[in-house]
Amino acid sequence: MSPTDSYRHLFGLTGRTYIVVAFFARLPLAMSQLGTLLLVSHATGSYGAGGFCAGALAVANAVGAPFWGARADRLGQRRVVAFQSLAGAAGLVAVLLVVGAGLSWGVAAVASAVAGLLLPQIGPLARVRWRPITAGTGPRQHRLVDAAFSYEGAADEASFVLGPALVGLGVSVASPAAALGLAAAALAVFGTWFALHETATVTHAATSRSSGATGRLLGPALVVLCVAQLLVGTVFGSVQTGTSVLATAAGSPGLTGYFHALLGVGSVVAGLAVAGLPSRWSLSARLRWFAVALLVLASPLLLVGSLGALVPVLLVLGCSVAPYMITTFTLAERVTPATRTGAAMTVLAAATGLGYAVGAALAGRLADWGGHTPAYAVTVGAGAAAVLVSWGCRRVLQRAEPRPLPEPATVP
């Protein structure tokens, strides 16, 4: 089955409306961090205050994600995600009210953390739905689930390209408050729509019927995958920081978001192509070689000296990011009991968010010392660590990974 046929079959199972809703439902999370940073920075005149509030939102979201994922496994996504969508939207409105009232940025940081704690991780939860959705496809299910995870990885990358762009547009047309208000409205509408979609009911019914009460969540393989995601999150944080430093030095700090989006462009294209990889190439082997690609393609960042030179490097680097992330999420789905899949997906998302915070903080400290090149050295270091983890722990992943199923016979 070709990638095009796989995607056509998948979208036929859910209907195109679900695909659109699930994509737009994940945009508010991609918009909220930058929106909070710009809102608080504009109101206080301090990028430090804005960055602290945005960081509080991101860290709280990462910490809360596994809790909400576990609740979704137990109670069903419909109830949990509907609550998160409405409460998260209210949390973003609370940030707007606190900042608009002129209260101290410390209060805004607390409000941002509360909002972040409530915001749903739509991408990981959407991944959980695909195995129950494809349950009636027979021997092709294995291939379809792989294609679904490839699509979800590309959709996540696309959301983190479009989300900040929408924030930038909202700021340009109106104000930072309008941009964050748009995120709140989109979450209330599309997040709730995603929660109430019939696929949520199908997923909960399927996981409730699964054998075994709960099953073990944090086995050795999932711990390795969490470290792998922490490292790719470090790549994101350090690249954004290094790019911000380079753009500021060039007199165009406003271009940071657009340049960071280049990483997502290459990632989306490569992510969609992953569905065409042969199933006989094991996921643990893919992770090892995608980690090597991440290191090799990140290394030219150390030679970049201008924004023009940065463009092709980010585009090419993105081609290794989505395949790497898609592989870690797909492996996690394979090695986790069906009753704990939501928790596993959100744990990986949390690890990515924490890695982003680590990468941004470490790269920022090094950038204060020596500019953009030391910041990008954090990116390269994360790539090297990813190689060490994936190759050093390969036996752990190989033992946990189910054997690939043979390709179903094609009918001429």
pLDDT tens column, 311-353: 999 999 989 988 999 899 888 888 888 777 888 888 898 898 8
Residue 172, pLDDT above cutoff 80: no
Residues 122 and 253 in one domain: no
Question: What is the average pLDDT across 360-364?
Answer: 83
d(CA 289, CA 310): 24
Q: Place 27 in a pLDDT band, splitting at 50, 70 and 90.
A: very high
Same domain? For 183 and 310 the reply is no
pLDDT in tens, 91-133: 999 999 999 998 888 999 999 999 999 999 998 899 889 888 8
- Note the pLDDT of residue 208: 67
Are 198 and 344 members of one domain? no
Residue 136 and residue 25 in one domain: yes
Residue 409 has a pLDDT of 46
Based on the fold, state whether residues 59 and 148 are members of the same structural domain: yes
CATH code: domain of residue 258: 1.20.1250.20
Q: Note the pLDDT of residue 217.
A: 67
Q: Measured between alpha carbons, how far is 400 from 111 in angstroms, rounded to an integer? A: 41
Residue 410: per-residue pLDDT: 45
Residues 340 and 403 in one domain: yes
Residue 92 shares a structural domain with residue 62:
yes
Given a cut of 60, is residue 408 above it in pLDDT? Answer: no
Query: What pLDDT is attached to residue 162?
Result: 83
- Is there a single domain that holds both residue 373 and residue 310? yes
182/282 same-domain check: no
Q: Write down the pTM of the prediction.
A: 0.80
pLDDT-derived band of residue 180, with 50, 70 and 90 as boundaries?
very high
Identify the domain containing residue 47 by its residue range: 1-209
pLDDT at position 386 over 60? yes
* Confidence class for position 59, pLDDT limits 50, 70, 90: confident
Tell me, what's the pLDDT at 210? 56
The lowest-confidence range among 39-43, 81-85, 104-108, 326-330 is 39-43
Q: What share of the chain is helix, strand, coil (3-state, %, to 5)?
A: 85, 0, 15
**Per-residue burial over 219-249, b = 16 or more CB atoms within 10 Å of its CB, e = otherwise:** bebbebbbbbbbbbbbbbbbbbbbbbbbbee
Task: Clarify whether residues 344 and 268 are in a common domain.
Answer: yes
Which amino acid, residue 109?
A: A
Of the three residues 209, 229, 252, the one that is the final residue of a domain is: 209
Number of domains present in the structure of the chain: 2
Q: What percent of the chain has pLDDT over 90?
A: 35
**pLDDT of 20:** 94
Indicate whether 365 and 386 sit together in one domain.
yes
Return mean pLDDT, the chain: 85
111, 91 contact by CB (below 8 A): yes
Alpha-helical runs (H) found in 134-191: 141-173, 176-186
Confidence of residue 376 (pLDDT cuts 50, 70, 90): very high
Q: Do 140 and 233 have their domain in common?
A: no
- Residues of the chain with pLDDT > 70, as a percent, come to 92
More confident residue, 369 or 254: 369
**Which of 177, 209, 241 is a domain's end point?**
209
H or E stretch at 36: helix 27-44
Residue with tokens 């960071």: 260
Rounded Cα–Cα distance for residues 214 and 338 (Å):
8
Tell how far CA 374 is from the center of its chain.
Answer: 25
Give the pLDDT score at 183: 94
More confident residue, 152 or 210: 152
